[in-house]
Amino acid sequence: MRQKLEQLKSDFTSAIEQISSEEALEALRVEYLGRRGKLGELLSGLKDLSAEDKKEIGPFANQIKQELEAGFARKHAELMQELAGEKAQSEWIDITAPGIEPVNGNLHLTTQAIQEVVSIFNQLGFIRVRHPEIDWDYYAFESLNMPKDHAARDEWETFFIADGNKVMEGEKGKVVLTPHTSNGQVREIEKGYLPIRMMNINKTYRRQSDVTHVPMFHQFEGLLIDKGVTIAQLKGVFDFFVKRFFGPEREVRLRPHHFRFTEPSFELDISCNLCGGSAKIAGKKCRMCKQGWLELGGAGMVHPNVLHAGGLDPKEYNGFAFGWGVERTLMMKSGMNIDDIRILYKNDLRFLKQF
Ligand code: PHE
C-alpha cells in the first residue's frame, strides 16, 4: 500500500510537469483527486488492512493527499502568472504617452458679449434678470404708454402668436414674440422691490432681415428706479459702460429723440472708432459714420404713465431706462470688422471658431 501510494505520487509529479494549460490541469486534478480518482480508489483499500497497518498507512496516505493538493495549487499559481505575463506583453499601454486632447468648443460671440455687458453693469449694481420672451401685448406695448392701434407701435415690426390670446387667457391682450426687452420694465416694477437696478437681457424678434438686421436678435435693457434720479446719472452710466466696453478714448452723447415710454427721450451715440469722432479721414468724409458719431440705442427718463402702470407714484419715484441690441453693440467694437450681422447666426464654424 505504501509503495502504491509512493508510485501514485511519482506518477503525479511527472504528469503535472507536462501540463501547460488550465484545462489540462483541471483534468489531472479530477483524474487523481476527484471523487472517483486514483487516490480515492487506492484509499478505498484501507478498510481491508489490519488495525496496525491502518495506524501506519493512514497518516502517510493523508500526507500524500496533502502533497498532491499542494502540487496542484503551486501549478495553478504558476499558470496564472504565465497568463498575466502574456497579457501584459500583448496589451501593453504606454502610460507616459500624451493623451488625446478633446475638442474644446467656445461660447458663441453673442454669449461672450452678453457676459461682458453683464459684468460691466454688475459693477454699477445692475443685476441681470430674465423676463418672458413671449409676452402679452400689455407688457410689450400697452403698459409702455402705447395704447391699442397707436401708430408708434409700427416701429416694432412685431410677430403675433396666432390665437395667442386663446392659448393664454387673460386681460392683457394678444401674445407677441417680444420685439424689445422693454416688456421687462413694468414686469420688474410689479415685483414691488425698490429701488430697482435691472439688466434684462433676452432674445427679441422683429420682422426684418438685411445686413444690419436679423429676425431674432438680443437686447439688453437697463432700468433704474429710485428717488431723484437725474439725466446726468443716466449719462454717467453710459459713459462708464462705453469706456469699458469700447475703450477709454470713446465719447458718448445724448441726442433728442422720441419714445412713448420715456420723457424726455434720447438716442445715444458714441464717437466713431474709424475717424475718432472728427467725421473725416485724410480730408475725406468717414465712410463708417459720415458725421463722427454712431448710433447705439434708445434711452430716456421713465414716463410717468409707465410708473403708474407698475403701481408707482411718479411724484415720489422716477428713473431712467435704456435698451440696445447686443449684436449691434458687439459689431461696433473696434477691430470687430463684421460687415453683415447675419453671419452671427449662419452656424459657420470657420467664422465662429475665430472668437
Ligand atoms: N425699447 C426701445 C427699442 O427697442 C429702446 C428703449 C429702451 C428706449 C428703453 C428707451 C428706453 O428701440
Residue in 196, 261, 263, 303 to alter for ligand 1 test, most ligand atoms within 8 A of Cβ = 261
8 A C-beta contact, residue 136 and residue 172: yes
Residue 19: per-residue pLDDT: 87
What's the rounded mean pLDDT across residues 47-52? 86
CA–centroid distance, 324 to ligand 1, in Å, is 7
Residue 217: per-residue pLDDT: 96
Pairing of the two strands 196-205 and 127-129: parallel
What's the rounded mean pLDDT across residues 196-200? 98
What is the spatial distance between Cα 190 and Cα 150, in angstroms, rounded to a whole number?
A: 24
CA–centroid distance, 114 to ligand 1, in Å, is 17
Going by alpha carbons, the residue nearest to atom 7 of ligand 1 is: 323
- List residues near ligand 1 (CB under 6 A): 180, 182, 221, 259, 262, 297-300, 321-323
pLDDT in tens, 291-341: 889 888 999 999 999 999 999 999 999 999 999 999 989 988 877 778 788
What is the spatial distance between Cα 355 and Cα 110, in angstroms, rounded to a whole number?
A: 10
Pairing of the two strands 280-281 and 262-271: unpaired
Query: Which residues participate in the annotated binding site?
Result: 263
Say which residues have a Cβ less than 8 Å from residue 316's Cβ, sequence separation at least 6: 227
Residue 170: per-residue pLDDT: 64
Report the atom number in ligand 1 closest to the C-alpha of 179: 4
The percent of residues in the chain predicted with pLDDT above 70, rounded, is: 98
What is the spatial distance between Cα 91 and Cα 252, in angstroms, rounded to a whole number?
A: 68
Residue 239: per-residue pLDDT: 94
Report the atom number in ligand 1 closest to the C-alpha of 155: 12
What is the spatial distance between Cα 318 and Cα 303, in angstroms, rounded to a whole number?
A: 8
Residue 84: per-residue pLDDT: 87
Is the pLDDT score of 223 beyond 90? yes
CA–centroid distance, 108 to ligand 1, in Å, is 25
Residue 168: per-residue pLDDT: 61
Query: Which residues participate in the annotated binding site for Mg(2+)?
Result: 263
pLDDT in tens, 261-286: 999 999 999 988 778 888 888 888 88
Sorting pLDDT into bands at 50, 70 and 90, what band is 167?
A: low
Is the pLDDT score of 66 beyond 70? yes
What's the rounded mean pLDDT across residues 142-146? 96
The percent of residues in the chain predicted with pLDDT above 90, rounded, is: 51
> pTM of the predicted model, to two decimals?
0.71
Task: Give me Rg for the CA atoms of the chain.
Answer: 43
Q: Calculate the average pLDDT of the chain.
A: 90
